[in-house]
Chains A and B, each alone.
Chain A
Amino acid sequence: MEQTDSVPRIMVVDDDPDTVSILARHLQREGFAAIEAISGAECLRIAQERPVDIILLDLMMPDMDGFAVCRALKENPRTAEIPVIMITARDDLDARAEGIRLGVSDFLAKPVFRRQLASRIRAQLDMLAANRATEAALDKISSHTRNGEKK
């Protein structure tokens, strides 16, 4: 789902269109491409259809809440490895415990601060870069072994 040289694609999911557009604007200002989704169903549809690097997911949404969206993302092999950063109230330990159980990668507390947003996203992007470097190193070893080269 990741890509090397392109601008990182961050999906913002919240039922409130204003929040989505404020967050999206800030992500663009940080140099990311923002994909907007105003419901859990829309998030799942987009994640299924096109490449997304990180999903910024609000917990409190009507119809399908952040937990349900996260569960669906993790159950689908196509989307299971996309890091999910869940936005919750700062002190909501129950919500965090449930998010941890569902496999979220990180949390952002409300209110969302610009610096925190950027640093949480960068951390996940760094992890994705380490993941790609590891895959490339594995490929390199395989091709050396195939060519019978002894390094």
Chain B
Amino acid sequence: MTALESKLADPGLKSAAAQALIGEHPTIAKLRTLVERVATTDATVLITGESGSGKEIIARAVHDLSRRRDRAFVPVNCAAIPHELLESEMFGHERGAFTGAAAPRHGLFSSADGGTIFLDEIGEMPLQLQAKLLRVLEDGVVRPVGSDRSAKVDARVIAASNADLLAAVKKGSFREDLFYRLQVIPIIIPPLRERRSDIPLLVEHFLDKMRLRLPGRDWVVTREAMVHLWSYDWPGNVRELENMVERLIILCEDSVIDAASLPANLVTGTRMVQTRIPTSLGEDGVNLNALVRELEGRMINEALKQTGGNKQAAARLLGLKRTTFSAKLRRCGVIAPSGNGREEL
């Protein structure tokens, strides 16, 4: 085994948590401990994290570290299965329970007996099914659709959501009792932009994975490129970063990944999610004042960027008098003097 292979190999089960949560950020270090500790229990876990943050990888790590590791890990994406099928998928059905149910069928809960069922996008589960899931969690029995008999099932439940489920509770689209029953142990994965300090480490990890896949090749990321990778907001989180590293390597002609190799949106610093400025009214109408402010802010920002923070020149670029420009600057939310000048706006 090469040094690289042993660096990436799985020397023991403990490393499942380490693979799922790479980073040195204090919160990530604590999360690794939490994954290892919660795996020794049978507690229901609710994982919250944006898309691409690795919810399923963490659920698998909990399973792999638990006493259930030799039994099934059954992932269910509640958003991907049509609502009307979800109940029979989860709990199974009897023959003739509904049109097309020609033979009885086991549900995913039964498949996960002795193991772990991972309910992803739990917030998408219809309310009526939420009530049934609550009963399963409380009594440990499932009843197939069309059956009058319940069967005991021993499946550890790990649920996940990419949105704040508590908000759904307040809105009434998610049952409060189920929320608290699921959230015995909450695992909250912070988005990558909240722990940027781990980005260089993750980039190096993904490069190592590629070095293993493409032996004999190697790459370096320049300091400048790393600053851009660090500063980007990564809405698709760790998964997006991994895809980006792969893409950069595939497109890379020599072995140097520099700022010029990066896609434009990553370099230009378009990091704020901008309000879309519509060109038609639509049914709901628009807030014209807000749109005008948005456009003004954007143009002023651009002008300041182009002129390196020189307000006189920026005002000229926008065809405004200096005083008008300053007033707009204040209104659109520039709140600290720019550049070297220390003048108050």
Contacts and interface: CB of A to CB of B under 8 A. Distances in A.
Nearest to B305: A90
Secondary structure call for the B interface: mixed
Interface stretch (A3-11, A38-46, A65-73, A106-114): A106-114
A110 B301 contact: no
Range for the number of chain A residues in contact with chain B: 35 or more
A135 to B, nearest CB: 6
B226 A97 contact: yes
B338 A111 contact: yes
Contact of A130 (B190, B230, B304, B344): B190
A126 B27 CA distance: 11
Range for the number of chain B residues in contact with chain A: 35 or more
A112 B334 contact: yes
Scoring A117, A124, A141 by chain B CB atoms within 10 A of each residue's CB, the highest score goes to A141
A115 interface: yes
Contact of B42 (A26, A134, A150): A150
A103 interface: yes
B216 interface: no
Interface in A77-122: 81, 87, 89-91, 93, 96-97, 100, 103-107, 109-117, 119
Contacts of B75: none
Contacts of A114: 333-335
Contacts of B297: 113
A130 B23 CA distance: 15
B37 A16 contact: no
B342 to A, nearest CB: 5
A26 B342 contact: no
Contact of B194 (A87, A117, A126): A126
A134 B338 contact: no
Contact of A100 (B186, B197, B337): B197
Nearest to B259: A93
Interface stretch (B1-9, B28-36, B91-99, B120-128): B28-36
B27 A134 contact: yes
Contacts of A26: 335
A90 B306 CA distance: 11
Interface string B187-211: 1111101111100100000000000
Contact of A135 (B30, B194, B305): B30
A138 B33 contact: yes
A29 to B, nearest CB: 10
A35 B146 CA distance: 64
B336 A23 contact: yes
A100 B188 contact: no
A137 B35 CA distance: 10
B196 A110 contact: no
Given A89-B339, A123-B194, A130-B194, 9 more contacts: A100-B200, A110-B309, A113-B297, A116-B272, A123-B193, A126-B194, A130-B190, A134-B187, A151-B184
Interface of A: 16, 18-19, 22-23, 26, 60, 81, 87, 89-91, 93, 96-97, 100, 103-107, 109-117, 119, 123-124, 126-127, 129-131, 133-135, 137-138, 140-142, 144-145, 150-151
Q: List 8 tightest A-B contacts by C-beta distance, closest first.
A: A114-B333, A111-B338, A127-B194, A112-B336, A130-B188, A151-B43, A131-B27, A134-B30
